[in-house]
Amino acid sequence: MSVYPKCAYSFMELITSNGILSNKYRINNIIKVRPFDVTLRDGIQSLTNEEQLTFTTDKKKFLYKFISKKYNPKNLEIGSCVNNKILPIFNDTVELFNYVENNNNKNKGHYVLIPNHDKLYDAIKFGVKHFSFITSVSDSFQIKNTKKTISENYLNLNNMMVYLDDLPIEKYKVKLYVSCINECPIEGKIDVQKIVGELFTLSLLKFDNICLSDTCGSLTHYDFVDIIENAKKLGIDIKKFSLHLHVRQEREDEVEKIFHSALDYGINEFDVSYLKSGGCSVTMNRNKIAPNMSYEQYYKFLTSYLINKDNL
């Protein structure tokens, strides 16, 4: 079988029409595997200045409705509270958040990226309950991105988590992005032991989700398995991990292997974007940025996993 579905609907049609795949879907608990949509945050932050000027709030609202209807992701990142001078495309995050929250989308998690305590305070005031925090395993990357070292940012993260714990907010969720898994665009390859050591320290802060971000789009299957196996040895709950993968066309097979191994390890959330873009334009040259995993790739990888899974 070589024909892969191109969206969620065709994927489910394939599963329900094929008894063998339906059983594998159930046995392997694939029902828990889900895409996390980052179109309206990471998917647009790497657009050129000209493209950003034309990406209006109305266009974001239309794209949100389109993605919700076509793919129906449970969680979506819809903006960022970063400095508007750095990324002016997010200056309408409050307006967009109010729109999606007030249009019968209460069953969805609307995440907003928060870089520091002051922005967290602002986000809480306009009603955010799902937060994305950011850090890295590279000091050079962290300093360029947030003007803080890894250690300084750890204190920042700890303070934000303590602040949230003291608030009467029910069911708030925090996703932590850990950038430069495998490689930093400034420092180059990062040692696996350093990566795992940072993940262990971060795991102590009790985030709901720790997202391993392949910033450069160069993570290999070998290094991914090495990271996960060493994390397991330290007692890190790897089921709290999710993956943010950037996929170059020539590396699609390698990313597919990573995706399949992640499923085997019990990782069940993967960042996807409808747009063929994405990446950290603050720290990387645009010509080196690889796009986010697409929905088509996500469902292709998921289908091939079930087809090749030898448990029936």
Residue type for 53, please?
Answer: L
Q: For 239-249, what is each residue's pLDDT tens digit?
A: 999 999 999 98
Q: Is 164 helix (H, G, I), strand (E, B) or coil?
A: helix
pLDDT per residue as tens digits for the range 262-288: 999 999 999 999 988 776 666 656 667
Backbone angles phi, psi at 193, to 5 degrees: -65, -35
What confidence tier does 290 reach under pLDDT thresholds 50, 70, 90? Answer: confident
Secondary structure percentages of the chain, helix, strand, coil, to 5:
50, 15, 35
Higher-confidence position of 183 and 312: 183
List the domain range (segments joined by +) for residue 165: 8-308
Q: If you search the block for the tokens 């495309």, which residue do you land on?
A: 89
Contacts of 111 (CB under 8 A, 6+ apart): 41, 75, 76, 77, 78, 130, 131, 132, 173, 175
Total structural domains in the chain?
1
Which residues does 85 contact at the CB level (< 8 Å), separation at least 6? Answer: none
Q: What are phi and psi of 148, to 5 degrees?
A: -135, 150
CATH number of the domain to which 249 belongs = 3.20.20.70
Q: For residues 207-211, give the mean pLDDT.
A: 97
Give the Cα separation of 39 and 272 in Å (integer).
7
Alpha helices per DSSP H over the chain: 8-17, 19-27, 42-45, 49-54, 57-70, 93-101, 117-125, 139-146, 150-165, 192-203, 221-233, 252-264, 295-308
- Cα atoms in the Cβ-side hemisphere of radius 13 Å centred on 3: 4
Alpha-carbon distance of 68 to 61, in angstroms, equals 11
Q: Is residue 1 part of a domain?
A: no
Q: At what angle do helices 139-146 and 150-165 cross, to 10 degrees?
A: 60
- Listed residue (179, 119, 115, 183) closest to 153, CA to CA: 115
Please, which residues have CB within 8 angstroms of residue 2's CB and are 6 or more apart in sequence? Answer: none
Q: What local confidence, expressed as pLDDT, does residue 250 receive?
A: 93
In contact, 178 and 210? CB cutoff 8 Å: yes
Nearest alpha-carbon partner for 295 in 55, 66, 112, 100? 66
pLDDT tens per residue, range 188-208: 999 999 999 999 999 999 999
Which residues does residue 83 pair with via DSSP β-bridges, in sequence order?
none
pLDDT band at residue 7 using 50, 70 and 90 as cut-offs: low
Write the CA distances from 163 to 159, 204, 263, 278, integer angstroms: 6, 16, 33, 31
